[in-house]
Amino acid sequence: MSALRSSLSRARDFLDRIALVDAHNDLPYVIRAESAAKGDVDAYRLDRVHQETDTDIPRLRKGKVAGQFWAAFVPTSVSHPATFTLEQIALVKRMNARHADVFLPALKASDVARARRTGRIASFICVESGVGLENSLEVLALWHELGVRYLTLCHNETLDWVDSSTDAPRHGGLTEFGKAVIRECNRLGILVDLAHTSHEAQLTALDVATAPVAITHANAFSLVDHPRNVRDAVLARIRATGGIVCATFVPTFLNQAVRDWVKPLCDPYGKPLGGSTTDAIQRHEAMAGPCPRASVEDVCDHIDYMTARLGIDHIGIGSDFYGGRNPEGLEDVSTFPALIAALMDRGWGEPALKKLVSGNLLRVLRAVEKAAAPR
């Protein structure tokens, strides 16, 4: 226990000095889906601890988060995805306005340092799923004007122009319109996020992109065979093109035993079956025993594996906290120091940790900003 306390103390001291920027958190959708708040930021009370979920202001402070990308997540099946996207962007803006003493609206990499100088958290907006484009490139410029700084091309379903990793492919990766989306993001200065896209879509996007790309919340396919995870061939291309892969905390992406336990409740692409109700899960538990737990050590395993293939300049953290089940030791946003402590115990020194927690992601953001067309 004394060694653990020593590691945690060193990790907290490190994060007091070095900014940690998390590449993906779904709090805006959690606020929208919460039965009492229903998207009302005031009613949700971010200033109090929400034990029923994983993200709030007290625990962001305890976790020493310096910058956060908030996902304006859009379910593929909603009736009016363009409107839904705008509502999610507006929700993040209301978070920033309601808690202006905590969040600094961030538009560029340098805003992380500016936020720290004022004791605030840099608050970035990203859109998760291009379904809200409704097949119009013109919308991207509007999203950029509203502050969107990265776009996750799709979610769990294949769209008209991009194949998802967790759905039947229809396009061999990307259509011509999908390639145009990549080019327009590059022109505007929107980071292209290939999380959720198919292996073929990732390779095609890497061929098309003229600025570095990201995979903001995924792990290594070689360690866990979930289709959302990144194959070695893509890791090699990310390294060669200057991009970044951000390790995530989703248990089914982290631990093969968890993945294998969940497989009978999922379709061949890894999505939960429509009949995966609480009763179905309980019946599965009765036959297979309780679901195994992923842990902070699993996250470290994926970080170590991907760093060995990417190089230290291309790895980051994208928790994907979304109010669901999280790994042991990483239950909520207050626990980021535990991850840093575990890596320190594995021999990670401060220069490498600086790149992991924000240096690499900020470098990629600066490169995307620089590659954008003059405005």
Structure confidence by residue, pLDDT tens digits, 65-85: 999 999 999 999 999 999 999
**Domain for residue 127, yes or no?**
yes
Q: Where are the alpha helices (DSSP H) in 170-277?
A: 176-188, 199-208, 232-240, 251-254, 256-262
Which 8-state DSSP code applies to residue 71?
E
CA distance 248 to 160: 27
CA distance 251 to 330: 11
CATH number for the domain that contains residue 130: 3.20.20.140
**Domain for residue 273, yes or no?**
no
**Domain for residue 284, yes or no?**
no
- Torsion, Cα 26 182 306 198, to 10 degrees, reads 80
Which 8-state DSSP code applies to residue 23?
E
Whether the Cβ atoms of residue 72 and residue 125 lie closer than 8 Å to each other: yes
Q: pLDDT tens digits, residue range 162-174? A: 999 999 999 999 9
Which pLDDT value is given to residue 9? 96
Between strands 315-317 and 244-247, the pairing is: parallel
Which pLDDT value is given to residue 280? 81
Residue of higher predicted confidence among 283 and 114: 114
CA distance 232 to 237: 9
Q: Which residue has the tokens 């692409």?
A: 269
CA distance 116 to 243: 25
Q: How many domains, in total, are found in the chain?
A: 1
Q: Which residue has the tokens 């093969």?
A: 256
CA distance 312 to 314: 6
**Domain for residue 270, yes or no?**
no
Whether the Cβ atoms of residue 321 and residue 249 lie closer than 8 Å to each other: yes
Residue 364: band (very low, low, confident or very high) from pLDDT cuts 50, 70, 90: very high
Once rounded to an integer, what is the mean pLDDT over residues 27-56?
97
Q: How far is CA 220 from CA 233, 284, 306, in A?
A: 11, 27, 7
Whether the Cβ atoms of residue 146 and residue 89 lie closer than 8 Å to each other: yes
Which pLDDT value is given to residue 271? 87
Residue of higher predicted confidence among 344 and 278: 344
Which pLDDT value is given to residue 275? 61
**Domain for residue 152, yes or no?**
yes
Q: pLDDT tens digits, residue range 259-281? A: 999 999 999 898 888 765 677 88
Once rounded to an integer, what is the mean pLDDT over residues 246-253?
98
CA distance 289 to 282: 9
CA distance 252 to 324: 12
**Domain for residue 285, yes or no?**
no
Which pLDDT value is given to residue 262? 94
Which pLDDT value is given to residue 135? 98
**Domain for residue 260, yes or no?**
no
Whether the Cβ atoms of residue 20 and residue 358 lie closer than 8 Å to each other: yes
Between strands 21-25 and 103-105, the pairing is: unpaired
Q: What is the CA radius of gyration of the chain?
A: 19
CA distance 151 to 206: 15
What are the start-end ranges of the E strands in 117-162?
121-128, 148-152
Whether the Cβ atoms of residue 344 and residue 11 lie closer than 8 Å to each other: yes
Picking from 188, 134, 142, the residue whose alpha carbon sits closest to that of residue 161 is: 134
Count other Cβ atoms within 10 Å, centred on residue 371.
Answer: 14
**Domain for residue 314, yes or no?**
yes
For residue 222, is pLDDT > 90? yes
Task: Note down the domain range covering 305.
Answer: 2-255+293-369
For residue 1, is pLDDT > 60? no
Which 8-state DSSP code applies to residue 272?
B
Whole-model pTM?
Answer: 0.96
